[in-house]
Amino acid sequence: MYWVSVITEAGIFAILALGLDVIWGWGGDFDLAFYGYLALGSYLTFVLTIGKPTPPVQYILGFHLPVLLSILLAVVVVVGLAAVIGAIALRNLRDIYFAVTTLGAVSALYLLVENYTPLFDGYNGVYGLINPGQTALNLTYNGYRIVFLGVVLVLLVLAYLLVQRLSRSPFGRMLRAVREDERAAAAYGRPVFGAKYRAYLFGAALAGLTGGLFAIFISAFNPSAWTPQELLVIYAAILVGGRGNPRGVILGVFVVYIGFIELTRYLPSPASRPDFAPAARQILIGLMIILMLRFRPEGLFRERPGLDRGPVPPAPAAAPASQRAAALPGLTSEERARREGDASKAARRRAGKTERVGKTE
Amino acid sequence: MSALLEIENLTKSFGGVHAVRSCTFSVPEGQVTGLIGPNGAGKSTVVDLVSGFGQPDSGSVTFAGQPLAGKRPDVISRLGLIRTFQTPREWRNLTVMDNVLLARRRFASESLWRSLTRARRIRREEEADRAAVRDILERFQLAELRNELAVRLSGGQKRLLEFARIAAAEARLIILDEPMGGVNPVLGARIGEAVRQFAAEGRAVVVVEHNLPFIENTCHQVVVMDLGEVIAQGPFSGLRDNPRVVDAYLGMDQSHE
C-alpha cells in the first residue's frame, strides 16, 4: 500500500505540473502563487463535503455535497481567484516583478488562512474527508485507495491528452511566440495579456482539480501542507523532465517524487544523527537541479516544435552544413564562409548543450 | 493614389526631450516612403507612435480612415499594419515554419476553446496556409531550413525570415525600421527587391533607413526629419538641392554615407 500511496501522490502532482508548465513552460511566467490554487481547491473540497463543523473547530460553508460536485465548485472558485491575481500580475509585470507579485499574493492568502480561524480553522486545518463514497462503492479501505489511484491515473492521462492537444494547437504556438518575444507578437496582432491570461486560468483550473484530488488523498489539510517550498519541487520536476514538453513534465514529476523523495527514504541515517537522511534528500534535489542546469538545461525531453512534413522542398532539412551554405547562391565567398561557420555552430549546438540560447525566462 | 496613413501634428516628449514635434506627413498606397534623418531625429519614435507601441502627447494618426489614438499595438496590427524593429525579432525557439505560419495571422483558430475542441478541423484548414508559407520560404531561400529553430539562423537569414513573415502577413501598410542594418550588398539587393514588390502589390511601405543608395533606388518619396520635425518631403532627387537637408543629414558629400 505504500507504493500505491506514492504513485497516487506523484500522479496528482503530475497533473499539477502539467498546469504549471502551461503558465511557465509555454507562457514564460514564473508563477509563485500556483501552489496556493491547489491549497484553496483542497480547502474548498473539504468544507463543501465534510458537513457542519463541531465546535471548537470552525470553518466556512460546512456543506454536505457530493465530493465530485465539491471539486467542481472548488475549481470554479480557484479560477475566480486566479482571474483576480492574474489580472493584476500579468498586465504589465514580467519576470522577477511578476514572480514577486504572485509570491505576495500567495503569502497574503497563507497568512489569512493561518491566522483567521473562522475561514479554515487556522493552523489546525480541516480534516475528516476519509474515502468519500467508500460505502456507496462497497469497497474496503485499501480497495478504495487502489481505485482512487486508478482514477488519478485516468485523470492524468486525460489531462495529458488535453495539454498535449493544446500544445500542438495554434493556441500553444501563439502562447510560445508571446513567450519568445512579446513585442514581435503584439506587432503581429497577438494580444499579449489576453494570451497569458487565458493560459493562466487554464493552469489554475488544473491546480484546482489537483487540490480536490489532494484533499481525498491526504484526508486532512492544514497550512503545513502547502508551504512555498512544495512549489519549488514542482518547478524542479518540470526543469528535470523538460520544460514545455508535457511528456517530459510527467516523467520529471515521477523522477523527482519517486526517485529522489521516496527512494532517499532508504538512505541510512546514523543513529546519532536521525536528521541525516532528510537533509541528504534536500541536498540531492539541489544537486540534481544544478547538474541538470549545467549539463542538460532543456530537461530529459526538450520542448519539441511540431515539424512540417509538407511536400516542398525536395532537399532534406538536415542537409550537411556545407551544402546548406552552398544552397544560398549569389553570396560572396566571405559571406558563404561565415554562413558555413554559423551552420556548423548550429550543428554543434544541436548536438548537445544549450537549447534555449540566451533567453530563459 | 490615396493616402493610407495620415499623420498630423504628432507630438511626443520624453521628460524634457521633444522627440517628435508637430510631425505631419502622409503615406500613399502602392508606394515606398523613405523616412530618413540623423540619429535622434525621432524616426523610430514616429514608428512607435503609429504602431501603438507609444502614445502621442497630441496629434493624430489615421489609418485607412480610422483614427488610431489609444489603440493597442495588437489591435492596430489587426487593422492591417505590420512593423518591424531595428533588430530582427524572430521567435527564437520556434521553427522557421512556425515563425512564418504565425505571421499568417489566423486569429480565430487561436482561441483556447477552439484549439481544444476543433483540433482536427483546424489542422486541416492550416494545410492551405502551410503550403502558402512553403512557397514564401522558397522565395526567401529558407525552405530547407523550415524545421530549424529560428535561433539557429545566421544574421542574414534572420533578415530574410523577417521579410518572409511580412510577406505572409499580407498587410496593407508595412513599416520597416532599418531593414538594411548589418546586411551585405547581395542580401541588400534582395531586400530592395522584396520592398519594391510589396509596393507593386499595392501595399504602402515606409522604410526608416540610413543607407542612402537603398533609399534612392527604392523610395518613391522621402520624408526627412531632424530634431523631431519634418524638414523636407518629396522625391529623393530634390533633396540634394535642399540646404536644410544637406545641412542636417546629407552633409557636403553624400558619397561618404
Cα nearest neighbour of A317 on chain B: B144
Specify the number of domains making up chain B. 2
Percent of chain B past pLDDT 90, that is, above it, reads 84
Question: Cell numbers at residue A330, please?
Answer: 549569389
Stretch B27-46: mean pLDDT: 94
In this predicted structure, what is the pLDDT of residue A340?
A: 47
Disruptive mutation site among B63, B134, B154 for chain A (greatest number of A CBs within 10 Å) = B154
Percent of chain A past pLDDT 70, that is, above it, reads 86
The whole domain housing B175 covers 3-90+154-256
Q: Do B21 and B118 sit in the same domain of this protein?
A: no
Q: Do B27 and B47 sit in the same domain of this protein?
A: yes
Q: Higher model confidence: residue A106 or residue A257?
A: A106
Instruction: Name the band, by pLDDT with cuts 50, 70 and 90, for residue A358.
Output: very low
Whether the ω angle into residue B73 lies within 30 degrees of 0, i.e. cis, is no
Q: Do B51 and B120 sit in the same domain of this protein?
A: no
Contacts of residue B173, defined as CB under 8 A and 6 or more positions apart, other chains included, come to B4, B5, B27, B63, B80, B81, B82, B203, B204, B205, B206
Taking CB atoms and an 8 Å limit, are A308 and B110 in contact across chains?
A: no
In this predicted structure, what is the pLDDT of residue A293?
A: 84
Task: Considering only the beta carbons, identify the residue of A180, A310, A346 that sits closest to B93.
Answer: A180
Q: Do B140 and B34 sit in the same domain of this protein?
A: no
Chain B contact present for A359, CB below 8 A: yes
Chain B contact present for A307, CB below 8 A: yes
Q: Do B86 and B98 sit in the same domain of this protein?
A: no
> How far is the alpha carbon of A140 from chain B, nearest alpha carbon, in Å?
38
Specify the number of domains making up chain A. 1
Chain B contact present for A91, CB below 8 A: no
pLDDT at B77 over 70: yes
Chain B contact present for A300, CB below 8 A: no
> How far is the alpha carbon of B89 from chain A, nearest alpha carbon, in Å?
6
Q: Do B140 and B250 sit in the same domain of this protein?
A: no
pLDDT in tens, B159-191: 999 999 999 999 999 999 999 988 999 999 999
pLDDT at A322 over 70: no
Say if A40 falls within a structural domain.
Answer: yes
Chain B contact present for A268, CB below 8 A: no
d(CA A67, CA A76): 14
Domain end call among B105, B120, B152 = B152
Cα nearest neighbour of A359 on chain B: B92
Taking CB atoms and an 8 Å limit, are B105 and A188 in contact across chains?
A: yes
Say if A356 falls within a structural domain.
Answer: no
DSSP states of A281-324 as a string? HHHHHHHHHHHHHHH-TT-SS---PPPP--S--SS-TT--HHHH
Q: Do B82 and B165 sit in the same domain of this protein?
A: yes
Helix (H) or strand (E) holding A326: helix A321-326
Q: Do B20 and B74 sit in the same domain of this protein?
A: yes
DSSP states of B177-198 as a string? ESTTTT--HHHHHHHHHHHHHH
Taking CB atoms and an 8 Å limit, are A315 and B130 in contact across chains?
A: no
Give A349's contacts in chain B (Cβ within 8 Å).
Answer: 152
Q: Do B233 and B162 sit in the same domain of this protein?
A: yes
pLDDT at A209 over 60: yes
Say if A242 falls within a structural domain.
Answer: no
pLDDT in tens, A8-44: 999 999 999 999 999 999 999 999 999 999 999 999 9
Give B169's contacts in chain A (Cβ within 8 Å).
Answer: 188
pLDDT in tens, A146-165: 999 999 999 999 999 999 99
Q: Do B171 and B79 sit in the same domain of this protein?
A: yes
Q: Do B167 and B245 sit in the same domain of this protein?
A: yes
ipTM: 0.94
In the block, residue with C-alpha cell 533606388: B217
Query: The CATH number of the domain where B180 resides is what?
Result: 3.40.50.300
Task: Considering only the beta carbons, identify the residue of B77, B93, B157 that sits closest to A186.
Answer: B77
Stretch A120-137: mean pLDDT: 91
3-state class (DSSP) for residue B7:
strand
In this predicted structure, what is the pLDDT of residue A204?
A: 98
In this predicted structure, what is the pLDDT of residue B253?
A: 53
Q: How far apart are the first and last CA of chain B?
A: 32
In this predicted structure, what is the pLDDT of residue A266?
A: 76
Instruction: Name the band, by pLDDT with cuts 50, 70 and 90, for residue B72.
Output: very high
Q: Do B27 and B131 sit in the same domain of this protein?
A: no
Cα nearest neighbour of A331 on chain B: B186
Taking CB atoms and an 8 Å limit, are A305 and B95 in contact across chains?
A: yes
DSSP states of A155-170 as a string? HHHHHHHHHHHHHHSH
Give B130's contacts in chain A (Cβ within 8 Å).
Answer: 308, 310
Say if A192 falls within a structural domain.
Answer: yes
pLDDT at A341 over 70: no
Contact A134, A151 (CB under 8 A): no
Say if A205 falls within a structural domain.
Answer: yes
> How far is the alpha carbon of B80 from chain A, nearest alpha carbon, in Å?
9
Beta bridge partners of B230: B225
d(CA B46, CA B54): 9
Taking CB atoms and an 8 Å limit, are B112 and A324 in contact across chains?
A: no
In this predicted structure, what is the pLDDT of residue B252?
A: 56
> How far is the alpha carbon of B23 from chain A, nearest alpha carbon, in Å?
23
The whole domain housing A217 covers 2-226
Query: Taking phi first (over 0 means left), then psi (-120 to 50 degrees means alpha), and beta for anything else, what does residue A338 get?
Result: alpha
Instruction: Name the band, by pLDDT with cuts 50, 70 and 90, for residue A312.
Output: low
Taking CB atoms and an 8 Å limit, are B93 and A355 in contact across chains?
A: yes
pTM as predicted: 0.88
